[in-house]
Amino acid sequence: MTTVIEVNNLTRRFGRLTAVDDVSFSVNEGEIFGLLGENGAGKTTTIEMLEGFQKPDKGSVIVLGENPRHGHREWRDRIGLVLQESDFDPLHSVKETLTLFASFFSHPRDVDETLEMVGLTDKAKERVGRLSGGQKRRVDVALGIVGRPQLLFLDEPTTGFDPVARREFWQVIDDLRTTGTSMVLTTHYMEEAERLCDRLAIMAQGQIVAEGTSSALISAFGATTIRFEVPRDVEMSTLCAAAGAHFIRRDNVATVLLGDELEGVLFRLLTWSQSTGTALRHLEVVRPTLNDVFLGATRSDE
Amino acid sequence: MRFARLCFLQAIYNLKAYLRSARTVVLGIIMPVGLLVILSWVFANQGKIAAAAGYPISAITFYAGGLTAYGLMLGTFTGVMVAVVSAREAGWLKRFRASPMPPGSYLSGQILFNVLISMGLVVVMMAIATLIYGMHLRLISVAVMFCYTMLGVFCFTAIALAITRLVTTPEMGSSVGPFVTITLSFTSGVFLPPDLLPHWLISVSNYLPLEPLAQSMQTALAISSGTGIMYRPFIVLGIWGVVGFVAARWTFTWQPLRR
C-alpha cells in the first residue's frame, strides 16, 4: 500500500511550550485518518506542519512524496484544505467564490457538481455574507474539494454544526471516500471520529497517546460496564462481593460495575437482586465508546 | 496565457466586490468628484492659480489634475491595503497560498483592477471638468493621464503592500489610507495652491509620490500643445514603487497576524 503521509519524530515548540512532541504516524492512500484531542492538544499545529504553514523544529514530514515546506504548484494542485477558521469576502456569491478558487487548479471539479456535493445548490447565488455558520462551513468544504484533491485536510470541519448538519457533512465525506480521496481529519467529537475514520490517533499534550482503528482502540482501552440504579442504602462492597465484580463509580442515579466475565457477573447480580428483593432499575449493559477510550487515554497521561 | 487568465479573473472578482460596496465607491469616486465640484466652484473667481509647473493655470485645470491624483492615491493606496489586510485576516490569503495559484497572479490582478477603476476615475473627472466647468481637453491629454494612472497605481500598490505587515486590521487600513492621502494632499499642491505653502514643505513633497503625480497631471491638462509628459514622476514614483515591491517581498505575509 502506498503511503500519502509519513511523519517521523515531529516536534514543534512555541517558546517553552512543546505544542507537538515527538509525533510519528503514517497515512495510507485512500484512508481517512483522524487526529483526536482536546483543544490545545496539538492537532492544528500538527496539521499545519503537514500543510506546510509551520516549520517543524525537529523531525520530518513527507506529504505526497514532498516536504510540505517546499511544496510547489504541482504539489498544491493535489491537495485540498478545509482550514479551522476562515472567512470569505461577504460581497461575493457562493458560486463566484467557488469559481475563482476552481480556476487555480489544473483539473477542477465542476462548480455546480461541487455545490451539489456539499448541499449548497440552492444557495449558489446567495452572497457569502448572508449565509449561516453551517452554510459557510460547507463553502469551506466546497473550496477544499473543488480542486479534486488526492489528499484532503479537514481541521475540525464540523465544529459549531447542529446534529442534522453534522450528519449531512458525514455523508459528504462518505461520498468523497468512494472517490478514493485520502483524508486527514481533526475533531474533538468522538462520534465523528468513530463514524468516519479508518484509523485514528489520540493526542494529548502534544503527544500521540493511542493509535489504531476505532474498534482496536475500544477493545484495548475501553471495557464493557453494567449500569443500574439501586436504593442509596445498599452497600456497594456487599453488592460487588455478591456479584464478583469491580466497583467503578456511583453517581446520582447510576452505579457502574465492571465484570471480567460479563455473563457470570450478570447472573450473580440478578440472583442477588432476587434473593434480597432489591430492584435493579434501568439495568443495562454498556459497550465502551471511543469517548471512554479518549477519556481513559488522555487521563492516564496526566 | 493561464497566468493572464487568472490575473483577469482576479481583477473581475475584485471589481464585483468594489461595485457592490458603497464604501469603496464613495472613497474612490464620489469623494474626489465631490471635491472637484466644490473646490473648482469656490476658486473659480480667483483667476489663475500658481501651480508648481511654474506658470499659472486655471482653477479647474488645477483641481481636475490634482484631485485625480488624489483620488487615485486614495483609492489605490487605501483599497489595496484594506483588500489585502481583510483577505489576510480572514484566512483567504492563506487559502490562496496553499492553492496552486501563482502568487504573481494575485498581485497582477490587484494592479489590473486598480488600473481599471483609476481609469474610470480619470474618465469621470475629465467628463465633469469639461462638461460642467468647460475645461478644454485634448485627446492626447487623456492618453497621457492614463499613462500616469498606470504609473501611480504601480507605485501606490507597492507602498500599500509594503506596509500591510504593520496594518493589523482592515479598519486600521481604512483610516490610515485616507489620513496619509489627505495629509499629503495639503502639502502636494492638490487642495491648496503650492505658493501658499512654506518652501521647505514643497521641497520635501517633491520627493514623495503624490506631488510629482499631481503636478504632472495638472501639466498634462494645462498645456496647449505637445504631450507635456514629464520624466520626474517616472523617477520619483518609479523609485518608490520598486522600493515598495522589494520591501513587500520581505515583509509580506499570507497568514493572519491575529490568531
Whether A16 has a pLDDT exceeding 60, the answer reads yes
Total domain count, chain B:
1
The pLDDT confidence band at residue A254, using thresholds 50, 70 and 90, is: low
Nearest residue of A to residue B109 by CA position?
A: A100
Task: State the Rg of chain A over Cα.
Answer: 24
Q: How far apart are CA A230 and CA B255, in angstroms?
A: 57
Whether B14 has a pLDDT exceeding 50, the answer reads yes
Please tell me what DSSP assigns to residue B29: I
Widest pairwise Cα distance in chain A: 75
Question: What is the reported pLDDT for B6?
Answer: 92
Contact B231, B219 (CB under 8 A): no
By C-alpha distance, which of A114, A96, A102, A144 is closest to B12?
A96
Whether A294 has a pLDDT exceeding 90, the answer reads no
Interchain CB contact of A14 with B (< 8 Å): no
Contact B195, B54 (CB under 8 A): no
Question: What is the reported pLDDT for A302?
Answer: 43
Interchain CB contact of A88 with B (< 8 Å): yes
Interchain CB contact of A150 with B (< 8 Å): no
Mapped onto helix, strand or coil, the DSSP state of residue B234 is: helix
Q: Is the Cβ pair A103, B94 closer than 8 Å?
A: no
In a domain, B39, yes or no: yes
Q: Is the Cβ pair A100, B5 closer than 8 Å?
A: no
In a domain, B230, yes or no: yes
Whether B53 has a pLDDT exceeding 60, the answer reads no
The pLDDT confidence band at residue B23, using thresholds 50, 70 and 90, is: confident
Q: Is the Cβ pair B100, A77 closer than 8 Å?
A: yes
Question: What is the reported pLDDT for A295?
Answer: 76
Q: Map B85-141 to HEC letters.
A: HHHHHCCHHHHHHHCCCCHHHHHHHHHHHHHHHHHHHHHHHHHHHHHCCCCCCCHHH
Share of chain A above pLDDT 90, in %: 42
In a domain, B246, yes or no: yes
Q: What crossing angle do the helices spanning A94-102 and A133-145 adopt, rounded to 10°?
A: 20
Q: What is the pLDDT of residues B163-175, one digit of tens each?
A: 999 999 999 999 9
**Strands A32-36 and A151-155, bridge-based pairing:** unpaired
Q: Where do the structural domains in chain A lie, given as residue ranges?
A: 3-219, 225-286
Question: What is the reported pLDDT for B119?
Answer: 96
The pLDDT of A81-101, averaged and rounded, is 88
Grid cell for residue B176: 490610515
Among candidates A86, A96, A106 on the partner chain, residue whose Cβ is nearest the Cβ of B90? A86
Helix spans in chain A (H): 43-51, 73-76, 94-102, 111-117, 133-145, 163-178, 190-196, 214-221, 236-243, 262-276, 290-299
Query: By mean pLDDT, which of A213-217, A294-298, B24-28, B113-117 is the weakest?
Result: A294-298
Question: Which residue type sits at A137?
Answer: R
Question: What is the reported pLDDT for B259?
Answer: 55
Q: Can you say how many angstroms the Cα of residue A137 is from the centroid of all Cα atoms in its chain? A: 17
Highest mean pLDDT among A161-170, A291-300, B29-38, B241-250: B241-250
CA B243 to each of CA B69, B155, B203, B250: distance values in angstroms, whole numbers, following the listed order? 20, 9, 21, 11
The pLDDT of A205-229, averaged and rounded, is 82
In a domain, B156, yes or no: yes
**How close A189 gets to chain B, by Cα (Å)?**
23
Q: Is the Cβ pair A83, B95 closer than 8 Å?
A: yes
* Whole-number average pLDDT of chain A: 87
Looking at 2.30.29, 3.30.70, 3.20.20, 3.40.190, the CATH number of the domain A225-286 comes to 3.30.70
Whether A40 has a pLDDT exceeding 90, the answer reads no
Q: DSSP letters of A144-158? A: HHTT--SEEEEESTT
In a domain, B256, yes or no: no
Please give the residue range of the domain that contains residue B58. 2-251
Question: What is the reported pLDDT for A301?
Answer: 44
Question: What is the reported pLDDT for B120?
Answer: 94
Among candidates A51, A74, A96 on the partner chain, residue whose Cβ is nearest the Cβ of B13? A96
Please tell me what DSSP assigns to residue A104: T
Question: What is the reported pLDDT for A285?
Answer: 84
Choose the mutation target among B13, B82, B99 for the interface with A, i.e. most A CBs under 10 Å: B99
* Whole-number average pLDDT of chain B: 90
- ipTM of the prediction: 0.84
In a domain, B257, yes or no: no
Question: What is the reported pLDDT for B122?
Answer: 96
What burial class does residue B198 get, using C-beta atoms within 10 Å of its C-beta: 0-12 exposed, 13-18 middle, 19+ buried? exposed
Query: By mean pLDDT, which of A49-63, A109-123, B18-32 is the weakest?
Result: B18-32
The pLDDT of A118-134, averaged and rounded, is 90
Q: Is the Cβ pair B16, A96 closer than 8 Å?
A: yes
Q: Which superfamily, per CATH, for A3-219?
A: P-loop containing nucleotide triphosphate hydrolases (3.40.50.300)
Question: What is the reported pLDDT for A253?
Answer: 60
Question: What is the reported pLDDT for B51?
Answer: 65
Grid cell for residue B151: 504609473
